[in-house]
């Protein structure tokens, strides 16, 4: 797969060729609200071409070896690291992420490709002897085969590292890959596409497709096509339900919306709890599925915890996104800022106390602390994706679980207590995919399975776990 000398960030990559289109998607620079780049917008016909090319490449991809695929993803990791400064700059601009966080995201993306090589090498088959009556002499070899073509639908909030978490395992497992990035943040994905093309020179033609475009125009064309065998998606619960509805009989691998509760019992280390609540709620302005979205504290500790969270929030202030000290940036869009404002106003209307913040200016929403939030406030049950710490109370363990398990989302949770038995008991009863004890939800680079229950997703992300989802087991019986 050779590199075109005219390579740039504004073309599709289909059938082994870079191709511009007449229609464009402009990308806003969140540092100054101007347009700093654009990408070609794929049409339904382009999506069809990518599907046909991927299907044609499946047979050749099946013949590739683990060693060959491990070399590809390792070379891609090297390419990411070589373009770290450029990628970090783009992530700051298109995602509004402070530079220190953007650099960390680039590092995480490279490491995820490296780990995909390790996981692919460790994927082993099985040898099984028959143990049931009449099958005593049977022998079975169970081998792993790629599912075929994987569609990767990636989010705006981690436009490079989450893309790596999908694309790296899909390639390492031997699948053809079609990458559809978020329309708000497609430039980092475009650079990754360039890196893939450069690094994996012997990747079969058509085995990788890059098709940025508007979901309303090409989303159903891609997700609803029988040539897609697996879909990896990170996004909202509503979008995930739609994709699941049109996709048919495919492997679905979805990490969707979250509304993580942090449950703080009166015996907890309130200093640690307040620090985790502030950072867990405000990191990347709260635009994370695993963000602490609501703090549930025992009524006896409410006032002290609120005071401590208020003090912790002093360090979170908007600033120049290229300043190493800046910890808070804008929200991805004016619409998202308006959504957060709507949830805050609803809580205040219902009787919550505004301790700090609460105001919106364009895409920026002040770091906000709400105390005494009524349990019927929308912010207690709906995903906010904003820099708001909403504190509500409970009077006993059963009440805490009732609030925490209320609603349709079940991605993450945190429990703060000095009582080991209570921590494990509450963790067992929380209806979520992951529980952090005495800390904010965190999932690392992909060595811990990450995913949710209810409307928060299907399956579990993680380098090895995603590879498992992108292969099929074939039993050959002797």
Which residues are tagged catalytic? 255, 289
Phi, psi of 125 (to 5 degrees): -85, -170
- CB contact set of 69 (below 8 Å; sequence gap of 6+): 117, 120, 171, 172, 173, 174
Output DSSP code: residue 262: E
Closest CA to 361 of 387, 325, 330: 330
Reduced to 3 states (helix: H, G, I; strand: E, B; else coil), residue 121 is: helix
Residue 254 forms beta bridges with which residues?
233, 458
Q: How far apart are CA 186 and CA 90, in angstroms?
A: 10
Phi, psi of 115 (to 5 degrees): -70, -30
DSSP, residue by residue, 438-464: SS----TTTTS-B--EETTEES-BSHH
Q: How far apart are CA 456 and CA 432, in angstroms?
A: 9
- CB contact set of 88 (below 8 Å; sequence gap of 6+): 99, 102, 103, 105, 106
- Measure Cα distances from 14 to 180, 212, 442 in Å: 12, 11, 36
Closest CA to 353 of 400, 381, 392, 385: 392
């Amino acid at each position: 797969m050779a590199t075109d000398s005219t390579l740039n960030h504004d073309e599709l990559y289909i059938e082994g060729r870079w191709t511009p289109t007449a229609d464009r998607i402009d990308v806003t620079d969140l540092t100054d609200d101007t347009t700093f780049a654009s990408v070609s917008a794929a049409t339904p016909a382009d999506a069809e071409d990518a599907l046909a090319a991927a299907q044609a490449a499946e047979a050749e991809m099946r013949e590739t070896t683990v060693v060959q695929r491990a070399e590809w993803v390792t070379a891609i990791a090297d390419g990411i690291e070589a373009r770290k400064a450029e990628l970090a700059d783009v992530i700051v601009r298109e995602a509004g992420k402070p530079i220190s966080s953007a650099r960390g995201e680039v590092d995480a993306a490279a490491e995820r490709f490296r780990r995909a090589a390790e996981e692919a090498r460790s994927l082993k088959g099985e040898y099984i002897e028959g143990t049931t009556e009449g099958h005593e002499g049977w022998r079975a070899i169970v081998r792993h085969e790629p599912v075929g073509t994987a569609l990767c639908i990636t989010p705006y909030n981690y436009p490079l590292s989450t893309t790596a978490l999908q694309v790296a395992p899909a390639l390492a497992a031997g699948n053809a890959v079609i990458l559809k990035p978020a329309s708000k943040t497609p430039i980092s994905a475009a650079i990754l596409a360039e890196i893939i093309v450069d690094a994996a020179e012997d990747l079969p033609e058509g085995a990788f497709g890059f098709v940025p475009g508007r979901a309303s125009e090409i989303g159903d064309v891609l997700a609803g096509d029988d040539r897609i065998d697996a879909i990896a998606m990170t996004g909202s619960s509503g979008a995930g339900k739609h994709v699941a509805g049109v996709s048919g009989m495919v492997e679905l691998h979805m990490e969707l919306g979250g509304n993580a509760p942090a449950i703080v019992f009166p015996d907890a280390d309130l200093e640690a709890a307040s620090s985790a609540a502030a950072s867990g709620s405000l990191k990347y302005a709260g635009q994370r599925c695993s963000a602490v979205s609501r703090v549930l504290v025992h009524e006896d500790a409410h006032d002290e915890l609120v005071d401590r969270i208020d003090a912790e929030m002093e360090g979170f202030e908007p600033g120049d996104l290229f300043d190493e000290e800046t910890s808070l940036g804008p929200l991805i869009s004016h619409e998202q800022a308006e959504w957060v404002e709507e949830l805050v106003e609803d809580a205040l209307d219902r009787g919550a106390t505004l301790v700090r913040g609460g105001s919106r200016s364009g895409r920026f929403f002040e770091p906000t602390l709400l105390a005494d939030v009524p349990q019927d406030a929308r912010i207690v049950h709906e995903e906010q994706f904003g820099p708001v710490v909403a504190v509500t109370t409970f009077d006993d363990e059963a009440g805490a679980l009732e609030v925490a398990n209320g609603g349709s989302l079940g991605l993450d949770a945190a429990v703060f207590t000095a009582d080991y038995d209570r921590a494990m008991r509450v963790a067992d009863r929380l209806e979520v995919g992951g529980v952090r004890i005495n800390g904010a939800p965190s999932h690392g680079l992909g060595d811990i399975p990450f995913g949710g229950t209810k409307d928060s997703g299907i399956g579990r992300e993680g380098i090895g776990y995603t590879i498992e989802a992108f292969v099929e087991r074939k039993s050959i019986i002797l």
